[in-house]
């Protein structure tokens, strides 16, 4: 039923009456979904308004069909009870209690489950709105059961998930658990139908009308020829007590017979159809394969491209290389001025990510990583601990414990460049050159972040950046700076020093051990020997190496001092190195989308931009130890 406002004010805040057909569902306990957030009949119903006014649906009468004038008690079929907000839908949910005189309606609902577009719920509301966005529901007149609701309200037979992104009133799909009514429960439709002005004659007539609607609906969706449809109509006229199940079974038998009769004319030897992909999507898969990524079954089934020039011509129709989109020449459906840029950006991002992740990200084991929602400076907070609990005498009072924290701050840095893919490169079909661009950008982004983390250990002649206390990261005041060469004994001394670090505020020993040994490539062999040998390396007595496997060796590519080395705790125990990300933990690629403007117009090139935003800093210096060995 369409939205029929009693008045049509345009000023904000005035009340209008809205007849709102929506998706209702019913289960075996006659639970109904009354209304859900979304848009229907031109009015938007926000979640907050429905949540606040859910109780208005309590005690609301339910009628069979809408009426233009005053409602009659003869149309009353039930009442809503227990109305309230249901967060899991989300929506207003209630119980529908049917009157005994409306027993015929249960059969209608049961039959309607098989054809959900026929039967649904419709709410008659008084609302206040501002530019057709509802700000309040002031009164609920009724919630009625109607045929073919305008917004697609219907009863469905199986539960499915409810997408929250729906912009119209979505339906929750719930199984009706009551048993199917017997033939005697359904009103007759033929010669046996009762006549006269009895109390139930109006309801029976409605049921017969619904049965006729159901029959025509089933036949319309059966795709049977008209002659067979007439056969079904004739049988229904002579057998008025056929149930919905009987009718469905009859149509199914005729459909199978008709399919067998036409089987000889069917197309054969097609094989199994696994997936149908749009032409533009198939071209996107083909370009990904051309760029060296993919490898899935969809990629293998996609057509092969001879080169970039072929894709450019197919998507733009720009055979003269003028850098413009020729819609009249493009035969691919849904191709627009931005399709070329979108496909290129999508494929190159995959190549970029593959190249970025291919290089060993040595910093990951020692770093605490976190994604942030803004570019505000990152605050790495270390919360101090408490000293031992105080003794409380009998009848004595408890004393308050004090606590403290320490904050280190890091700012985001934005890294990036752009590369121009010229029309000459496209016309020359320079596949290797275009394929190399995202790979090289991925490697460059990897080196950039790697250098930023490595610099925490090498800045300021190897003592690192100053922290919030005004002292360098590695300093005797922090008890985390040494000057001895890497050896088994010196590693043991480093381990003990970190283990003895005291907790902020409580001054209690942390007991945190180093988990990783960081070295330049020149010390990699020495470190591996220390942590994998059964005996202590260089010991004349063949003493057992009890520190074997006590740490993992990490080689830092940016370290050029051949003698310096460091230790780091597991960030799960104590955060030392901290990295914050904005817009993902890998660089992104963007492709300019305009035509005949910017670089495409002035330089005949499609610009590919790489961007990477991150913040690198220190959480707690106690998690790190450095040895700056004099050369």
The tokens of 238 are what?
Answer: 């002579």
- Amino acid 117: pLDDT: 56
Per-residue pLDDT reduced to its tens digit, 596-626: 445 666 678 888 899 999 999 999 999 999 9
Q: Are strands 565-569 and 552-555 parallel, antiparallel or unpaired?
A: unpaired
DSSP 8-state assignment for residue 567: E
569-600, pLDDT tens digit by residue?
A: 999 999 999 999 999 999 998 887 555 445 66
In this structure, what DSSP letter does residue 184 have? Answer: G
**Which residues partner with 179 through β-bridges?**
none
Do residues 9 and 108 lie in contact, with contact meaning Cβ atoms separated by under 8 Å? no
Rounded CA-CA distance 197/367 in Å is 83
Residue 252: its H or E element: helix 244-261
Q: Are 626 and 564 in contact (CB under 8 A)?
A: yes
Q: Can you give the pLDDT at residue 252? A: 78
For residue 379 the two structure tokens come to 């605050």
What local confidence, expressed as pLDDT, does residue 444 receive?
94
Q: Write the CA distances from 279 to 285, 332, 333, 426, integer angstroms.
A: 10, 7, 7, 21
CA 317 – CA 547 distance, rounded (Å): 68
d(CA 12, CA 518): 66
Looking at residue 345, its pLDDT comes to 85
Question: What residue ranges of the chain have pLDDT lower than 50?
Answer: 1-13, 21-28, 150-200, 267, 269-270, 272-273, 596-597
3-class DSSP state for residue 173? coil
Q: Please name the residue that has the structure tokens 């089987």.
A: 263
Residue 456, pLDDT score: 97
> Shortest CA distance to 187 belongs to which of 120, 149, 243, 114?
243
The stretches of 463-585 forming alpha helices (DSSP H) are 488-499, 524-532
What is the C-alpha to C-alpha distance for residues 439 and 349, in angstroms, rounded to an integer? Answer: 10
Q: Which uninterrupted H or E stretch holds 355?
A: helix 339-358
Using alpha carbons only, what angle is made at residue 87 by residues 86 and 91, rounded to the nearest 5 degrees? Answer: 55
- The residues spanned by each domain of the chain are 15-191, 277-386+404-631
Is the pTM higher than 0.85? The answer reads no
Of all helices (H) and strands (E), which one includes residue 465? none
Provide CATH code, domain 277-386+404-631: 3.90.1690
Structure tokens at 410: 């890091």
CA dist 457 and 409 (Å) reads: 17
Distance of alpha carbon 618 from alpha carbon 580, whole angstroms? 11
Q: How many CA atoms lie within 13 A of 602 on its CB side?
A: 5
3-state secondary structure of 314: helix
Is 387 strand, coil or helix? coil
Alpha-carbon gap, residue 579 to 568, rounded angstroms: 15
Could you tell me how many residues make up the chain? 631
CA-nearest of 545, 518, 369 to 454 is: 518
Contacts of residue 338, Cβ cutoff 8 Å, sequence gap at least 6? 593
Q: Are strands 565-569 and 514-519 parallel, antiparallel or unpaired?
A: antiparallel
DSSP run (H or E) holding 239: none
Give the model's pLDDT for residue 185: 37
Look at residue 566 in the predicted model and tell me its pLDDT. Answer: 98
Name the pairing type of β-strands 565-569 and 624-627.
Answer: antiparallel
Q: Pick the closest to residue 185 from 206, 157, 204 (CA basis).
A: 204
């Amino acid at each position: 039923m369409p939205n029929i406002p009693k008045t049509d004010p345009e000023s904000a805040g005035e009340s209008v009456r809205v007849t709102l057909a929506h998706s209702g569902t019913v289960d075996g306990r006659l639970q109904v979904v009354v209304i859900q957030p979304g848009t229907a009949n031109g009015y938007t119903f926000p979640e907050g308004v429905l949540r606040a006014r859910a109780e208005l649906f309590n005690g609301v009468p339910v009628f069979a069909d809408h009426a233009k004038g005053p409602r009659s008690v003869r149309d009353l079929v039930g009442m809503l009870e227990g109305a309230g907000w249901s967060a899991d839908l989300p929506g207003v949910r209630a119980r529908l209690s049917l009157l005994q005189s409306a027993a015929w309606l249960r059969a209608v609902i049961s039959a309607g489950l098989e054809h959900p577009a026929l039967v649904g719920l419709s709410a008659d509301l008084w609302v206040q709105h501002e530019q057709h966005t509802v700000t309040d529901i002031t009164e609920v007149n009724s919630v009625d059961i109607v045929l073919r609701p305008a917004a697609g309200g219907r009863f469905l037979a199986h539960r499915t998930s409810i997408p929250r992104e729906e912009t119209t009133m979505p339906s929750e799909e719930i199984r009706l658990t009551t048993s199917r009514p017997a033939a005697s429960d359904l009103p007759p439709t033929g010669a046996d139908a009762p006549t006269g002005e009895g109390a139930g004659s109006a309801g029976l007539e409605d049921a017969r009308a619904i049965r006729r609607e159901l029959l025509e609906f089933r036949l319309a969706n059966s795709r049977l020829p008209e002659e067979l449809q007439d056969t079904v109509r004739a049988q229904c006229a002579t057998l008025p007590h056929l149930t919905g199940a009987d009718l469905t079974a009859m149509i199914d038998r005729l459909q199978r017979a008709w399919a067998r009769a036409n089987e000889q004319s069917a197309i054969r030897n097609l094989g199994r159809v696994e997936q149908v992909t749009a032409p533009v999507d198939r071209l996107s898969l083909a370009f990904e394969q051309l760029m060296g990524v993919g490898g899935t079954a969809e990629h293998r089934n996609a057509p092969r491209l001879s080169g970039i020039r072929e894709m450019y011509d197919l998507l733009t129709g720009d055979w003269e290389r003028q850098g413009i989109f020729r819609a009249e020449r493009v035969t691919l459906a849904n191709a627009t001025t931005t399709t070329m840029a979108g496909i290129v950006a999508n494929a190159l991002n995959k190549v970029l990510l593959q190249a970025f992740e291919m290089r060993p990200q040595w910093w990951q084991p020692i770093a605490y990583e976190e994604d942030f929602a803004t570019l505000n400076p990152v605050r790495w907070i270390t919360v101090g601990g408490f000293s031992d609990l105080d003794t409380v005498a009998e009848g004595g009072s408890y004393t308050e414990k004090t606590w403290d924290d320490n904050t280190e701050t890091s700012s985001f840095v934005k890294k990036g460049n752009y590369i121009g893919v010229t029309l000459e490169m496209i016309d020359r079909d320079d596949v290797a050159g275009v394929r190399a661009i995202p790979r090289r950008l991925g490697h460059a982004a990897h080196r950039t972040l790697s250098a930023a983390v490595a610099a925490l250990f090498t800045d300021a002649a190897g003592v690192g950046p100053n922290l919030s206390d005004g002292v360098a990261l590695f300093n005797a005041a922090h008890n985390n700076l040494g000057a001895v060469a890497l050896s088994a004994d010196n590693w043991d001394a480093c381990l003990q020093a970190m283990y003895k670090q005291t907790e902020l505020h409580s001054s209690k020993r942390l007991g945190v051990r180093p988990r990783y040994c960081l070295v330049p490539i020149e010390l990699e062999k020495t470190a591996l020997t220390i942590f994998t040998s059964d005996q202590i390396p260089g010991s004349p007595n063949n003493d057992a190496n009890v520190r074997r496997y006590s740490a993992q060796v990490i080689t830092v590519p940016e370290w050029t001092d051949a003698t310096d080395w460091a230790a780091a705790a597991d960030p799960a125990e104590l955060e030392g190195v901290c990295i914050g990300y904005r817009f993902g933990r890998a660089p992104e690629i963007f492709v300019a989308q305009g035509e005949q403007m910017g670089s495409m117009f002035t330089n005949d090139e499609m610009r590919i931009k790489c961007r990477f935003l991150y913040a690198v800093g220190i959480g707690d210096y106690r998690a790190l130890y450095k040895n700056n060995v004099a050369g």
